[in-house]
Amino acid sequence: MEIKYYNRQTNKIEIEKVYGDGGVKWLYESGPGKFLSSALVKSPLSVLYGYMQDLGSSKNKIPNFVKNFDIQMDDYIPEDGRNEADPYSTFNKFFIRQFKEGKREFSKDPAVMPAFSEARYFGYDSIQDNDTVPVKGKFLNAKELLQKEEWIETFDNGPLLLARLCPVDYHRFHFPDNGKVIDNYKVGGLYHSVNPIALKAKEDIFSTNVREVTILETENFGKLAYVEVGAICVGKIVQSTDLTSFKRGDEKGYFLFGGSTVIVIGEKGKWKPSEDITKNTSEKLETYLHLGVEAATKL
């Protein structure tokens, strides 16, 4: 199964080079793999694997990873206290690398919601519509995702952006606007892969995986439900702010090792995903965006 996506930066449809592609296929498509996955998706094993990326020996994987996925290391700063000759002490430190100043800029247009993650996006004008993209359906809605009665009506029938981060991507996520935090809570769950191969095999992944929910009151886009979804071998979801008030483009947090997903749900009638994202979504195609570029527009 080839995973194709539209790259807005190159204006081309490209084929994703998947980290651990063979392993994901085996886990979700073979009999023995399906049996084993039932253990791997439970917290202790998945989190333990993630924490192994904090071992000093894990840094030995970095050079081949950079080469195989053609990561442009000139875009990133070394870990604090290290230099470009030996920039990271562990694989996790490499995994949560930060961009150099000026490498990514957030749109300042108040009518534009900038991309909060550097990722592959699906977008929906309404999360109650009848689209049939693999990650849609009864499991991708406010009730299933948020699991808190207080917020279900607020976000019912609202727009949604789903940003899938691959292991090769920048793994920090950011606030899309100025505002304040009005709620934050965790939802317990499993650690399934968020690879499209896994999503095709198991449609309820986003509503059963572990996740952290933050409700934002924003300056330009109303209330947003900002949902970080854990995935197989993700060691941890880390909030790097005190979750009180924030500015557009501020870092919100990061995922330790593993691919994962950020989902943002809005109030009905406040904003809509960018036209290329919704068009590509209707064709079952993700849209790859750089951090900070337009992802949605105010209505």
pLDDT digits (tens, 9 = 90+) for 33-89: 454 555 555 555 556 666 778 899 999 999 999 999 999 999 999 999 999 999 999
- Residue 233, pLDDT score: 55
- % of the chain residues with pLDDT over 90: 61
Please determine, for residue 28, whether its predicted confidence score (pLDDT) is greater than 50.
no
- Residue 236, pLDDT score: 77
Please determine, for residue 191, whether its predicted confidence score (pLDDT) is greater than 70.
no
How many CA atoms are closer than 13 Å to the CA of 177, on its beta-carbon side? 28
- Residue 290, pLDDT score: 98
Average pLDDT over residues 99-127: 96
**What DSSP line would sit under the chain, residue for residue?**
---EEEETTTTEEEE---TTHHHHHHHHHSHHHHHHHHHHTSHHHHHHHHHHTTSGGGGGGHHHHHHHTT--GGGEEPPTT--TTS--SSHHHHHT-EEPTTSS-----TTEEE-SSSEEEEEES-TTS----TT-STTSSHHHHH--HHHHHHHTT--EEEEEEPTTS--EEE-SSSEEEEEEEEE--B----SHHHHHH-TTHHHHB-EEEEEEEESSS-EEEEEEE--TT---EEE-S-SSEE-TT-EEEEE-SS-EEEEEEE-TTTEEE-HHHHHHHHTT-EEEE-TTSEEEEE-
Pairwise CA distance, residues 219 & 110, whole Å: 9
Q: Contact at 8 Å (CB) between 277 and 112?
A: no
Q: Where are the domains of the chain?
A: 1-299
Please determine, for residue 137, whether its predicted confidence score (pLDDT) is greater than 50.
no
Q: What does the mean pLDDT of the chain come to?
A: 84
| pLDDT class of 129 with cuts at 50, 70, 90 | low
- % of the chain residues with pLDDT over 70: 76
| pLDDT class of 142 with cuts at 50, 70, 90 | confident
| pLDDT class of 135 with cuts at 50, 70, 90 | low
Average pLDDT over residues 240-244: 91
